[in-house]
Amino acid sequence: MKIDRLISIVVYLLNHGRTSAQKLAEEFEVSSRTIMRDLESLNQAGIPIQSFYGVEGGYQIMDSFVLEKQVATNHEYDWIVTALEGMASAYASKSLKQALEKVQSISHTRDTAVSVDLSVASEDNKTNKQLMLLEDAIEEKRVVRFSYTNSHDEVKDIQVEPVCLQYKWYNWYLIGYYEKYQDYCMFKLVRMDNLRATQIKFTKSHNLSDIKIKDSNNDIVHVKLYGKAVIKTKCREYLNGRITQEFENGDFEFSFSVPEHETFWYGVILSFGNKAKIIEPQEIKERIIKTCKEIQMEYGE
């Protein structure tokens, strides 16, 4: 419906700023001429849309404009509830629970065909306490300290400005700012000990959209393996990559990208035994050979 598209255009411009008519046409899958008519309709309805010409031209809503009315449909609120419920299954935050209750009071239909269960991410009691402490420190802009065991089993004392909590690679991570090194790093919560918040305030404000994250534990490694047909499904399930080539007998080549020093994917490959063979990189191949020889020696003894 046109009214839904008009509302969506307003929301898009508020979120993305100056945008060309061509980009809007691509986003909403209509012609540029239709977009121009829509923008004119919005102007007539009192939405202050400005036009700019030149290389960086486009359309944007005046900064003074504030959208105060409810613009989401009931079905869209259902999606919001679904997302919040999934988050709440993994993260025991009081403010998150309150937000979920507020949106649930608006959404009554609940006709989405999708549910999200992230309870596997809820970790243990220690991690949950760490999450709550870090959330408070981020909100209050206070520096935190902790002992950290990196992937090489080296223990270091860390002091950072906590910026954001992130769940990825089956674990919770903290994105923190090293004031000493003027850089951002990622830290896995399960590797933290003696976590505590200080009274030291942040040295600067942090904009997540401008942050380039450096993982303090891992570099991403791109792996290619040759697999027997019987492990094809397991490769897709556990290694989250793609098949790049298939052979007549069902064997295949598989590519995936993972944090180099994480244990999970490495253990999966070892569990495949002689049904998987690393093609590249060479250092991973040598690591597999070394591990297998050490296992053989251990059992031989």
Q: What three-state secondary structure class fits 204?
A: coil
What residue segments make up the domains of the chain, in order of their start? 2-61, 74-119, 123-215, 220-300
Q: pLDDT digit string (tens) for 147-202?
A: 999 878 899 999 999 999 988 777 889 999 998 888 899 899 989 999 999 999 99
**E strand or H helix at 238, and its extent?**
helix 232-239
CATH classification of 2-61 is 1.10.3720.10, yes or no?
no
CATH architecture of the domain 220-300 equals 2-Layer Sandwich (3.30)
The pTM score is 0.63
Res 250: pLDDT: 95
Give CA–CA dist 89/128, Å, rounded. Answer: 12
Q: pLDDT digit string (tens) for 228-258?
A: 999 999 999 999 899 999 999 999 999 999 8
Beta carbons of 236 and 226 less than 8 angstroms apart: no
Beta carbons of 242 and 252 less than 8 angstroms apart: no
Beta carbons of 288 and 270 less than 8 angstroms apart: yes
**What class has domain 123-215?**
mainly beta
Q: What three-state secondary structure class fits 254?
A: strand
Q: Which two tokens stand for residue 217?
A: 């534990």
